[in-house]
Chain A
Amino acid sequence: MIRHSLTTNTLFAVVLVMSLAISCSHRTASAPPPKPTAFGAAIVESSGGKQTAQTGASLPQPLVVQVNDEQGTAVPGALVEFSAAPGVTFDPANGLTDSSGQVTTNVTLGGMAGRYQLTASTIDKARKKVDLRIEEIALGYQQTLGRQLSDQYCDRCHNPESTVERLSNFDNLEIKPHPFTEGDTLNKISDADLTAIISHGGPALNKSALMPAWGNTLSKSDIQALISYIRAISDPPNRNAGPVYAEN
């Protein structure tokens, strides 16, 4: 224990007050929202939901939401405000919808791995708040490593989506693999069983031999990383892998 001199002791109260002041002053105030010129009835997601990014990182695509009226027609000039758990930032945090009724914002996720629930809200004609909830997923180091391994070894069969650069092999397989987002199935398989399938191949659990054994190619920690990634992106969420929604 460090011995303090009397003079520093008398400063104790001052330091306490100052540290409180510092911790408060570090909260940045966001700009006041602009005045809406129109009001919608509903708010919907155009794009940018269900993305994955690393903890603290910007989402790869911006989040775009649209405000519609009762008929489902886009409303320009309506106010949209974004909010989420502390640590999540929006650039901009609010704005008026453009001529196509949309607001675009860049989202940075918080420092904790997990799912983040974002809220986009607008005000309807009766001045009531209408909310839209959007989910994004932040990956920690282990899940990021898992995603990289998944891209390299797993995705071409397990992901049914083809890209211009890479055709999916999913449709070519006689017995279809489970996409990693398929929580309904994968959440029921324990970590130990997943490890067994990945290490020893499908036959280890009486499943298809089309799933090869990766135990000699991937290390134990690689396989753990893969599983943590699969758990992180599963839909519906895996409840054993931690709290459903992260808070910062």
Chain B
Amino acid sequence: MKEKLKSLWQKLFGDSVRAFGVVSLVFLVSLAIAPAKNYFSEWRHYQHGYLKMIRNRSDAVTLQRHFQGGIQQIWLPDLGVVDRCTSCHVGLKEASLADVNVQPFRPHPVIPHKLDQFGCTVCHRGQGAATTVAEAHNSTLAWEQPILPAKYIESSCGECHRGPLPGVPQLNQGRHLLSRYGCVRCHTVKLPDATTMKPTDDPPSLEHIADKTTREWIYAWLKDPQAYASTATMPNFKLSDDDVRDISAFLIANSTPLPGDTATLTAKAPTDPTAGASLYGESFCASCHAVQNAAGNLVGGDLGPELTRIGSKVRPEWLQAWLRNPRDYDPETAMPHYRFNDPQVATFTGFLLAKTDSDLLANVHLEAATPEQIAHGKRLVSDYGCASCHEIGGIKKPENFAPELSRIGSKPITQLVFLPGMQHTLPDYVAAKIKQPRWFGQALKMPQYSFTPAQIDSLATALLALNDRAATLPPSLTVAAKLESDYQPAGKAGKLMTDLACFSCHRINGHGGDMAPDLTWEGSSVQREWLVEFLKNPNTLRPALVRRMPRFNLTDTEANELTDYIMTVYQNPAIDRDSMPLSGYPQGQVELGKQLFYGKYACQGCHIVDTKTDKGYIGPTLTNVGSRLTAAWIFEWMKNPQALRPGTAEPNRAMSDEDARALTAFLISQKGGGKSEVAKK
């Protein structure tokens, strides 16, 4: 062996000339590797493939003219982008390649941004500077940022766009859920604009819980909140029987009574069994509360809790007190203070208490609690951070109870603990953590939510948008969110509006809900007499809607006070309410308006003026519009409805002043007494 090697050495390097030749040859070969590597590079292979593909197309000449060989690059210093993706993705900007089904040659789908201005990695992530597929798309040791899977792509929109955005429902929903399910009560989320994400759920205070419900119900609820109400936002903490026994013992023992909750009611429930259901319907409880129907479908809104099994939960005395004035128990509640009289309260109480579920509490048998159990319950309540959401007497709201998520979208993979068999990527980790938190350890405190797969994707999308880039973008490159204003109406009327919880449904001056019309300009819009009457007895304007304005049983004084305030304060500066008369338009103009209504603009498609012929269901019924709206408002509305109420479905018809005036004359002549046949149905 040694001999052989020696002779080989002799052959190669025996004399200096031969050695020089051999070394030269070795150098020559290694020099040739560079051009060879360049020649065999992936991007060149794809560019050849692209040219081959377009050769036989009818638009080959145009495509060939657009084609540029070699490594391509989009360089955007502002965004820190050096993207060479277009070296392989050659047809990205060629809309005519829409029929191509093979990557990397498909054209980019239409988006509102130009590729040259944003590059690729701002949205898709991955490694823009890389020139091989593996390095650009996948996470390698040196580069941690892999391509973002398509299902989370909207998270990239959220880096710059801080508010709701049309066309990205998943991001919008994810952000909504973070607030709606109270995620941000335990996890702090500081937004790049220096605000903190606020919860929009309304977990009740537990200070007087014993007034409201029984220990048995608390037990059943804590074991499985969704068994009581499938829509409950309260998660399942997967507690043992003993732990639930002790927590319920503590909560009941810790509760302090409110005097109003034990008052007995003198009025008796009516004998008519349908009275409760009709009162429930008339009061439009279903605008906010859902109830499961016989087919198992939920019917009603989600602003308030589901009422399917409410009779198994609440104590009768508490329910009466709540119905009489919910604000006595919870001053912050979204529920309006209906001015129900005693017989109405009794009717409601009977109706709601009948909504029971015998299975719910069938297996709950609790012995009287011992002091040890109560003490243990208190410890558990602290350990699980219950006070992060609920007010509980004697327990402080914990600070930073769960990890902060302000930059979760940039968490290094090296800091994550993956489960066996899991893909080692951040999106997979975030999604799995939301889906089943306790997979990552039985001792973890994060509870189990009952999110659908689509909701989990949405939440992960919103969380991935909270990353380093979003946090460090210069303000000039971001689109700020419209912040909710803290508008509050003033004075006596303001107090009344809070009491009636107007802002739970209506929006005024950038504050409030979106279920009902924005009332910012209501004072310019409606006539005084109509508004007083409507507040006392809200007959329906849109018969096709399930959610409607309830009757609050206001007194004359209250209705007048509220009307005066609305008429004075909620005025649009551009509309002079008295600039156009409410009657006395020439008959010819009214006739012209009628022709325009039924002919040129075909308004009867959506509105009803004559209940005998018109059937339109979309817009409000107009049989009585002449007694409801001001002429000046109708005129401005005809000219540009979106200017008065952004997002309204009424199309802007770019009407001439003449047409708008004629239609105003026609509509203001509709004073049909307010009770159309459809409205009665």
Contacts and interface: CB of A to CB of B under 8 A. Distances in A.
A219 to B, nearest CB: 11
A157 B45 CA distance: 52
B544 A167 contact: yes
Contact of B616 (A166, A172, A246): A172
Interface string A90-117: 0100000000000000101011110000
Interface string A1-41: 10010100110100100110011001010000000000000
Given A1-B71, A144-B167, A106 B453 contact: yes
A165 B297 CA distance: 12
A111 B101 contact: no
B454 A216 contact: no
Contact of B651 (A26, A59, A212): A212
A230 to B, nearest CB: 15
A134 interface: no
A50 interface: no
Interface stretch (B29-37, B74-82, B220-228, B586-594): B29-37
A209 B599 contact: yes
A59 B135 CA distance: 31
Given A22-B138, A148-B167, A56 B150 contact: yes
A215 B651 CA distance: 9
Contacts of B33: 9-10, 12
Which of B132, B135, B167, B647 has the largest number of chain A CB atoms within 10 A?
B167
A13 to B, nearest CB: 9
A28 B423 contact: yes
Interface residues of B, number: 59
Nearest to B655: A216
B30 A54 contact: no
Nearest to B137: A23
Given A9-B37, A19-B135, A243-B101, A108 B111 contact: no
A221 interface: yes
Given A9-B34, A156-B618, A216 B652 contact: yes
Interface in A169-218: 169, 172-173, 208-217
A58 interface: yes
Nearest to B32: A9
Contact of A216 (B30, B170, B605, B651): B651
A141 B109 contact: yes
B170 A54 contact: yes
B60 interface: no
Interface residues of A, number: 66
A110 B297 contact: no
A242 B112 contact: no
A152 B601 CA distance: 20
A247 B101 contact: yes
B491 interface: no
A122 interface: no
Interface of B: 30, 33-34, 37-38, 71, 98-102, 106, 109-112, 132-135, 138, 140, 149-154, 166-170, 297, 299, 423, 452-454, 457, 544, 546, 599-602, 605-606, 615-618, 642, 647, 649, 651-654
17 contacts: A4-B34, A4-B37, A15-B132, A57-B457, A60-B454, A141-B111, A141-B167, A148-B167, A149-B166, A169-B605, A172-B616, A172-B617, A212-B651, A213-B654, A214-B651, A217-B651, A242-B98
Question: Which 8 A-B pairs give the minimum distances between C-beta atoms?
Answer: A56-B150, A111-B150, A56-B151, A145-B167, A172-B615, A19-B134, A209-B602, A216-B652
